[in-house]
Amino acid sequence: MLRIGQVLEITFPSFTPRITFRSERELTVEIVAGENTGFADTVEYKMVVVRDGLVVLSWQEHIGSTIVHVLDLIGNQAYTFVTPARGGFMRLNGRISLNLQPNRMVQERQRFGCRCELCRGRSWNSSFGNEFHSGAAGTGHSTHSGL
């Protein structure tokens, strides 16, 4: 199903979130287009595999919003339900784009266990990282120390 390091984007009519699976219990969601572009949060999540190709993914953001995605990975469709922190209820349908190759930076971060502030807030789907995570002397960091 969905593995650590995978990245998926869901294109909704008014915005596009990018979801990066950082561990078996932690993901980062970033709004990369549309309303609320620039918002990012790293949260604990719960994923339930209903059957092959059908997953329910849920979390609560630090601002208080609750998110539930029903992800049809075969049909590339997301059925999403949001209770915003400010109140109300949203039902959304969107198209899923899934990066099937685990992101190299996420793999290296997991391997070296980096939790430094520089690394923690970064989008691991960007080009950031080679100068920081090249694996110098087994530390995983050539420019800073985050272990």
**pLDDT tens digits, 64-76:** 999 999 999 999 9
* Averaged pLDDT, 65-91: 97
Mean pLDDT of the chain: 79
The token pair at 41 is 């949060």
| 55 & 120 share domain | no
Q: What is the pLDDT of residue 110?
A: 53
Share of the chain above pLDDT 70, in %: 67
| 28 & 95 share domain | yes
Give the amino acid at 112.
Answer: F
Q: Measure Cα distances from 18 to 9, 30, 105, 140, 142 in Å.
A: 4, 5, 16, 25, 28
| 48 & 108 share domain | no
Share of the chain above pLDDT 90, in %: 64
Number of domains in the chain: 2
Q: Is residue 115 part of a domain?
A: yes
Q: What is the pLDDT of residue 99?
A: 79
Q: What is the pLDDT of residue 1?
A: 75
| 71 & 85 share domain | yes
The token pair at 3 is 């593995």
Q: What is the pLDDT of residue 98?
A: 87
- pLDDT beyond 80 at 126: no
Q: What is the pLDDT of residue 10?
A: 97
| 58 & 110 share domain | no
Q: What is the pLDDT of residue 109?
A: 55
CATH of the domain at 61: 2.40.128.20
Residue ranges making up the domain that contains 117: 104-138
* Averaged pLDDT, 82-89: 96
| 110 & 126 share domain | yes
Q: Write the Ramachandran bin of 36: left for phi over 0, alpha for psi from -120 to 50, otherwise beta.
A: left
- pLDDT beyond 70 at 113: no
Q: What is the pLDDT of residue 59?
A: 98
Q: Is residue 25 part of a domain?
A: yes
